[in-house]
Structure 1
């Protein structure tokens, strides 16, 4: 995908975020859109665009690599699911950043709309100019510790739900997928903790 197209995908998604904000038929409310990863670097062809979507849900309802209730419906409504965009769902009530979401750049928020200066900088390959400073090693360790606690609670909760639903009638796939996402997120953070020597 050409760089200009990648930035256009971000701009289009920001417009969709604004369009759906406050629409009552969507249970999930996205309140911030952040650019993450390669789109923050120099101009070049990309395979995909990574974004962080901050939703108006408690931190425990959006564990790392989790997918909040209503995410699939929202992704279909915004065409997110049909475009080469990788969403990372986050709670708006906690920090967006972690070991993987490194110095994200805010593209849109419900209160102030689209951050045109961010999109302009990204289009010109100047993403580093619109990113926040890097966290200190202590801040990263604290962030990972908090994230690990949320993920462990999610893993325990989803394991319990899976066990309760395992032999009941109906589809088990959504419950199993939710458990897999919680497991994947927990293990990813556990590895990051080990790398930073937090544990």
Structure 2
């Protein structure tokens, strides 16, 4: 996929976020649920060809509600409704009360947020192959470390709860549907714990 096509996909993401922010609330969820969208990863190295793009969605949920690696149902609904999942776009969910940047999301570029709308300056820089001009500053190392430790503790607790309830019929019913199965949640939490442990301890 050519670089210009990848940037076009990022524009589509930003426009989908802007549109979703105008829609009525989904059930009891806050509106808007998606608070921001940021590009990160290899696309910011301006390759001539790219296998895909990476996007971090900041959602209106606290870190206590969002274990690392787990895809919130409301974000999955948004991605499917906006047809983002039909393109080579990978996404992560970030809680509102942690920095967007972490061990994987390094100095991302803001595409859209609920306060400012679509960041036209960012897209101008991306189209001009100058993402370095608009990348967000890296948070202090101590802040990143504290956020990783907090997220790891929460994700471990969530994994323990899933292991304890994995064969419980009610829990399995609640975590099935829409093409998802309890095994998806288990795998996401196990991956999340391993990923955070490696980021903190390098093992």
More off after superposition, 142-151 vs 6-15: 142-151
Instruction: Give the root-mean-square deviation of aligned CA atoms.
Output: 2.4
> Is 1:176 matched up with 2:183?
yes
Residue number in structure 2 paired with 1:41: 45
What runs of 5+ residues in structure 1 fail to find an aligned partner? none
Superposed, 1:18-167 pairs within 5 Å as 18-24=18-24, 26=26, 29-165=33-169
Q: Which moved more, 1:141-150 or 1:25-34?
A: 25-34
Call closer, same or farther: CA 1:168–1:106 in 2, change over 3 Å: closer
Question: CA contact under 8 A between 2:67 and 2:155: conserved in structure 1?
Answer: yes
C-alpha distance in 2 between matches for 1:169 and 1:41: 43
Q: Whole-Å Cα distance in 2 between the matches of residues 155 and 170 of structure 1?
A: 16
Residue in structure 1 matched with residue 200 of structure 2 by the alignment:
193
Specify every segment of 5 or more residues in structure 2 that has no aligned partner in the other structure, as ranges. none
| Structure 1 partner of 2:16 | 16
Q: Is the 8 A contact 2:34 2:75 kept in 1?
A: no
**How much has 1:22 moved relative to structure 2?**
4.2
Deviates further, 23-32 or 86-95? 23-32
Aligned in 2, Cα 1:58/1:44: closer, same or farther, shift over 3 Å?
same
Partner of 1:4: 4
Report the TM-score, using the length of structure 1 for normalisation. 0.88
Q: Is the 8 A contact 1:161 1:175 kept in 2?
A: no
Q: State the 1:170 CA deviation.
A: 9.0
SS state at 2:181 partner: helix
Aligned length: 196
The answer to whether the Cα contact below 8 Å between 1:32 and 1:53 also exists between their aligned partners in 2 is yes
Deviations 1:146-197 (A, max 9, x none): 221121122123223324238977986522211110110111110111129x
TM-score by length of 2: 0.86
